[in-house]
């Protein structure tokens, strides 16, 4: 068990393989990536954000096998994406930004804790196949959505947003002022740590 844990840790945090998606990042031209949605897609401000596990990359009309997680931001036109979907994306790969000043939120480090090293923003997403992934995780996401509805029905804003942020790791629902308060008081790590113990959002 310990050996399996060490191997998994090295795979997630030290992506050195030659076919890892970081080997193609940043990309000067648009590339096509085919992968599986491994997080719960979230809609916010006319954008959908989710994580994929890359399987293939098409660059200069050459298809290659690849691996590694990508943080995806999908713009219009929007579709209903779900955990387990196999999708085809087109866009430019880029590395997440590091913190520009000491004490600021480090987006790159935050994503790396989830094994995500690359970002892709796109308006071209095609669903190739649906209903993949783990049945248990699909069930867990449905249960999570039910909990969100209960919290939103029971508590007013911003209390419901704070509870979702701490209980479910859902920082995206927090108003900017609340997020700034966490960072200003040095308690932003609470949200960051809690998000690691819940299903990604």
Any domain includes 201:
no
Question: What are the pLDDT digits (tens) for 137-193?
Answer: 878 888 888 888 888 889 888 778 777 777 776 666 666 666 666 666 665 555 554
Q: Could you tell me if 103 and 159 lie in one domain?
A: no
Instruction: Please report how the helices 159-167 and 135-154 are oriented relative to each other, as an axis angle in degrees rounded to 10.
Output: 150
Domain that holds residue 156: 135-196
pLDDT above 50 (res 31): yes
Distance CA 111, CA 21 (A): 15
Percentage of the chain beyond pLDDT 90 is 31
Last residue of a domain, one of 86, 109, 129: 129
Q: What is the DSSP letter of 24?
A: G
Q: Could you tell me if 119 and 144 lie in one domain?
A: no
- Backbone torsions φ then ψ of 111, nearest 5 degrees: -65, -35
**Number of separate domains in the chain:** 2
Q: Would the pTM of this model clear 0.75, i.e. be above it?
A: no
Percentage of the chain beyond pLDDT 70 is 75
Last residue of a domain, one of 129, 164, 184: 129
Q: Could you tell me if 85 and 25 lie in one domain?
A: yes
Q: Could you tell me if 143 and 82 lie in one domain?
A: no
Q: Of the given ranges (15-19, 25-29, 34-38, 152-156), which has the lowest mean pLDDT?
A: 15-19
Distance CA 97, CA 101 (A): 12
The pLDDT of 64-73, averaged and rounded, is 95
Q: Of the given ranges (5-19, 46-60, 92-106), which has the lowest mean pLDDT?
A: 5-19
Residue 68: per-residue pLDDT: 95
Q: Could you tell me if 112 and 175 lie in one domain?
A: no
């Amino acid at each position: 068990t310990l050996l399996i844990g060490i191997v998994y840790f090295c795979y997630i945090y030290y992506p050195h393989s030659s076919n890892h998606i970081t080997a193609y990042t940043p990309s000067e031209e648009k590339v096509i990536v085919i992968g599986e949605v491994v997080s719960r897609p979230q809609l916010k401000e006319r954008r959908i954000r989710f994580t994929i596990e890359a399987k293939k990359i098409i660059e200069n009309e050459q298809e290659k096998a690849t691996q590694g997680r990508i943080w995806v931001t999908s713009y219009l036109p929007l579709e209903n994406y779900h955990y387990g979907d196999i999708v085809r994306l087109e866009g430019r790969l880029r590395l997440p930004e590091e913190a520009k000043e000491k004490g600021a939120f480090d987006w790159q480090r935050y994503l790396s804790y989830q094994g995500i090293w690359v970002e892709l923003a796109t308006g071209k997403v095609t669903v190739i196949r649906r209903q993949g992934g783990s049945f248990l995780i699909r069930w867990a996401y449905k249960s999570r959505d039910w909990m969100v509805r209960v919290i939103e029905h029971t508590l007013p804003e911003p209390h419901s947003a704070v509870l979702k942020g701490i209980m479910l790791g859902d920082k995206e629902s927090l108003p900017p002022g609340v997020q700034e308060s966490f960072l200003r008081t040095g308690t932003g790590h609470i949200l960051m740590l809690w998000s690691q113990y819940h299903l990604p959002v």
